[in-house]
Structure 1
Amino acid sequence: MSDASDLVRYELRGEVAILGLNRPDKRNAISDRFVEAIAEAVARATREAEAGVIHGHGKHFCAGLDLSEHSQKPLFEAVLGSRRWHSAFDSIERGRIPFVSAISGAAVGGGFELAASTHIRVAEEGAFFALPEGQRGIFVGGGGSVRIARLIGPARMGDMMLTGRSVSATEMERWGGVSYVVEPGKALERGIEIAARMAQNAEFTNYAVINALPRIADMSSEDGLFAESMVASLATMTPEAQERLRDFLEKRAEKVKAPDA
């Protein structure tokens, strides 16, 4: 194992990059330096891996923004800092490879924003989610007003921000903000399993799911259907797709099975 920085530990396990937020004494609260470390580790994972997992060392995934740093920023510097969060998290959400977040403990504020930038969220039963910005006199600045609102809806996000309530992993799964709920201590293991499976997909298809699907969701239905036709046709033309389709037609690939099979 080697370190991308002292703040994000990096491990390459087969085709899966494992990024560990490494500020456990601060519940992995995110500072500007931490954002840069995350961006650096994500860029490395994109070069070296086919899928990635982000998790937190210690008891918590990420408790959000480092308020001691944020409270001292001049206005324009704060704007630029928020935009840097957007850029770093965009490199996860709309990059080349899919990412899973493995969530234990707190995914609060900016931690929830980070998780929302990943493509699949696995949360342990004891994990919890909160957006306490209303009580702190601030507003989300790491992309949450777009990403979290699209996951769970603006009304539920507004509820969380206005009331400061914490939401359990089970309830967040019902809301659509979590993809899988697992037993305590199992999030990272499950996240790696999912990432390893995604790493076996066709590279172009993974890229299309990450980059085309959210853009199509932003389009009118007619524009979206047209874009879908273009992407589907391009995907079928790739040499990898042609080979995989031949394997299926010649019965070298497994058929889809029922969930309990």
Structure 2
Amino acid sequence: MTEELVTYEVVDEIAYVGLNRPEKRNAVSDRVIDALSLCISRADREAKAAVLFGEGKHFCAGLDLAEHAERTAIEGVRHSRGWHDVFSRIEFGTIPWVCALHGAVVGGGLELAAATHIRVADANMFMALPEGQRGIFVGGGGSVRIARLMGVARMMDLMLTGRSINAQEAESWNLAQYVVPEGTAKAKAKELAKAAAGNAELSNYAIIQALPRIRDMAREDGLFVESFVASFTQNSPEAKERLQAFLDKRAAKVRNPQDQAGSGK
């Protein structure tokens, strides 16, 4: 392949996965989805956490509409289900994914970002869901993931009006967990991925797999499942070693963020 549509490298057990169609604002084509799928499989095998980012001036401007316009109805269903499969392997994979967002995070780009576990927004980032203006509908899982992050009313507003929101609004709407100065989203995402990679692998897996499912359960069902997940993880050999390290004062305590800021650390 002469064109590397998605870049991939592993450094210090962190996989860096980059959308690499900057001339198309990283619009997602079928070939991009295929390349992303391969990178997800590699990251699951080779890394303890992953950072997803976009090359160039934008994270991702969404679906490649040139391909979409030619599909029949059944082809559209198969295409959408293909996106669901790939994005679900991020959301329900084996490692944490941190997304570094800058520039346009539009349509399918927002659907992709919503599949990751932590989203870091550069101050210059903007989000939109212009599907209504294009005569289409979200097809990459947005009606489930995005709606659950910010609520149906806000998603309906974006889709009906076509308006954009900035990074600060995205954070207040729970579409981003961090807003950082322009040009620093990838660095912050790297910092967060490194922190997550340092966790017990079984704990990370339980967090990724259990929390979204418990959210969808009835209250008592969720509490019941929580008890089993908690018992299973805390009885692993790694958990026992980490707990003993804490009891022996070999592990750091949780610090007040104000103390950390005051110490210059």
TM-score by length of 1: 0.98
> Residue 37 of structure 1 corresponds to which residue in structure 2?
35
Amino acid at match of 1:6: E
Query: What SS does structure 2 have at the residue aligned with 1:140?
Result: coil
Deviation at 1:15, TM superposition (A): 1.0
Deviation at 1:166, TM superposition (A): 0.2
> Residue 80 of structure 1 corresponds to which residue in structure 2?
78
Residues 236-247 of structure 1: matches in 2 within 5 Å?
A: 236-247=234-245
Query: What SS does structure 2 have at the residue aligned with 1:251?
Result: coil
> Residue 97 of structure 1 corresponds to which residue in structure 2?
95
TM-score by length of 2: 0.96
Deviation at 1:74, TM superposition (A): 1.0
> Residue 106 of structure 1 corresponds to which residue in structure 2?
104
Distance 1:83 1:54 in 2: 21
Residue-by-residue CA offset, 1:190-228 (whole Å, 9 max, x unaligned): 101100110000001100110000000000000000000
Question: 2:140 aligned to 139, 142, 147, which one?
Answer: 142
> Residue 216 of structure 1 corresponds to which residue in structure 2?
214
Residue-by-residue CA offset, 1:32-80 (whole Å, 9 max, x unaligned): 1111111111110110000000000000000000000001011111100
Q: Percent identity?
A: 59
How many aligned residue pairs are there?
258
RMSD (CA atoms)? 0.9
- Structure 1 unaligned regions, length at least 5: none
Query: What SS does structure 1 have at the residue aligned with 2:258?
Result: coil
Residue-by-residue CA offset, 1:97-120 (whole Å, 9 max, x unaligned): 000110010000000000000000
Distance 1:111 1:200 in 2: 28
Structure 1 runs of 4+ off > 3 angstroms?
Answer: none
> Residue 50 of structure 1 corresponds to which residue in structure 2?
48
Residue-by-residue CA offset, 1:99-147 (whole Å, 9 max, x unaligned): 0110010000000000000000001011000000000000000000000
Deviation at 1:260, TM superposition (A): 1.7
- Structure 2 unaligned regions, length at least 5: 260-265
Distance 1:161 1:195 in 2: 31
